[in-house]
Amino acid sequence: MTADQPPLPAPDADDLVVPLRAGERLAISRALTEVERQSLTATRLIAALVPYLGKAVIVGITGPPGAGKSTLVNALVRQVRAVGRRVGVLAVDPSSPVSGGAILGDRIRMTAALDDDGVFVRSLASRGALGGLSTAAIRSIDILDGAGFDLVLVETVGTGQSEIDIADVTDVRLVLAAPGLGDDIQAMKSGLLEIADILVVNKGDRPDAEQTVQQLHGAVSLRAHNRPLPVLKTTATTGAGLDALMTAIDERAKVAHREPVAVRRRRRARVVIARAAGDLITERVRSGRDSKLADLADALLAGHIDPRTAAEHLLSG
Ligand SMILES: Nc1nc2c(ncn2[C@@H]2O[C@H](COP(=O)(O)OP(=O)(O)O)[C@@H](O)[C@H]2O)c(=O)[nH]1
Ligand SMILES: [Mg+2]
């Protein structure tokens, strides 16, 4: 996505490292913009940050629209700021390229944090309608980590692709549900339950919240492997349940950070490359000018080759 960015003078990676490490807002903002542009500066900058990376706890927050993810992110920001920890937020919203409405709403709710240097919020577009994380969104994690934030909260909408992405790029995964799930429990069992480290029933102020907690406990106990999976109740609008949630996040983070930084970053790097490869193939298909793709399409139509083999040929050069 480089086409319609305004032509700012490209900052030098070396000039960004020191102010970024010092947590200066302007440097963070420019660094994130370079990452969105997928510029060489971004690549150099992240390389220069490597010695400092891996300290932040990366928390993924996913779940259906309206469950209260943004409100909970706000409440978590307040919670961690109260004890002096610094927090960065990446809000990935698939609706942003079209309407901008949800992003604006989130921004307004986040304004309380704007004059606090311990908080940085950036809204990012997702990869199209599926809501997966873009390469830029994933690499932005390194920028916020390098800027010294203790926590990085990544809010995504709980569509299939973003669930899968978030599983591989974050240390702690929160899956949010709102009361009154009903049949949706079934869906959670198959997809979201598998990636969750902590299940959160938000809107705990609603009378049916406890029933949803019980339903989720039931679903959790039915899973084949019995990895411990806490089910917590929060009320994001009042902050109720946030202490317990923060404790659970920190506990889980301790386990996640036992894994060496290099291993965690390599897992993220693999997802970044997979996304970039997908984007590249999509571009080649859309351009309509790729002769190899055209030949493979003819071979497929003639029944000489199956789609998977064609894809392998395409990827191999
Ligand atoms: N009653 C109640 N409403 C909440 C709570 N948390 C969020 N909401 C409301 O639910 C709506 C959707 O919240 P939002 O954070 O935008 O959800 P998101 O789409 O998951 O990010 C908003 O009107 C919030 O004010 C809560 O704990 N209790
Ligand atoms: Mg939201």
- Sign of the alpha-carbon torsion through 303, 308, 311, 315: negative
Residues in contact with ligand 1 (CB, 6 Å cut-off): 65-71, 202-203, 205-206, 235-237
> 137-174 pLDDT, tens per residue?
899 999 999 999 999 999 987 666 666 677 889 999 99
255 neighbors 198 (Cβ within 8 angstroms):
no
Supply the Cα-derived Rg of the chain in whole angstroms: 21
Considering 177-186, 274-283, 301-310, the range whose residues carry the highest mean pLDDT is 301-310
Find the mean pLDDT for residues 127-143.
79
- 235 secondary structure, DSSP code: B
The Cα-based distances of 296 to 242, 283, 292, 300, 310 in angstroms read 54, 16, 6, 6, 6
pLDDT above 90: residue 3: no
Residues in the 5 Å CB sphere of ion ligand 2:
69-70
Find the mean pLDDT for residues 238-249.
97
> 93-119 pLDDT, tens per residue?
655 443 334 444 454 445 455 678 899
> 201-220 pLDDT, tens per residue?
999 999 999 999 998 888 88
- Residue 7 CA, ligand 2 centroid: distance in Å: 30
Closest ligand by atom to 179 CA: 1
pLDDT computed for residue 284 by the predictor: 83
**What is d(CA 71, CA 234) in angstroms, rounded to the nearest whole number?**
11
Pairing state of beta strands 231-233 and 198-201? parallel
- Residue 68 CA, ligand 1 centroid: distance in Å: 4
pLDDT above 90: residue 31: yes
Pairing state of beta strands 151-156 and 57-62? parallel
- Residue 111 CA, ligand 1 centroid: distance in Å: 17
Higher pLDDT residue, 18 or 8? 18
Closest ligand by atom to 93 CA: 2
DSSP 124-187: EE-BGGGTBPPHHHHHHHHHHHHTT-SEEEEEE---HHHHHHHHHH-SEEEEEE-S--TTHHHH
pLDDT above 70: residue 234: yes
Q: Which two tokens stand for residue 254?
A: 């301790």
35 neighbors 47 (Cβ within 8 angstroms):
no
Mean pLDDT score of the chain: 85
Find the mean pLDDT for residues 238-253.
97
Among 237, 238, 242, the mutation site with the greatest number of ligand 1 atoms within 8 A of its Cβ is 237
> 280-295 pLDDT, tens per residue?
888 888 887 888 889 9
What confidence category does residue 184 fall into, taking pLDDT thresholds of 50, 70 and 90? low
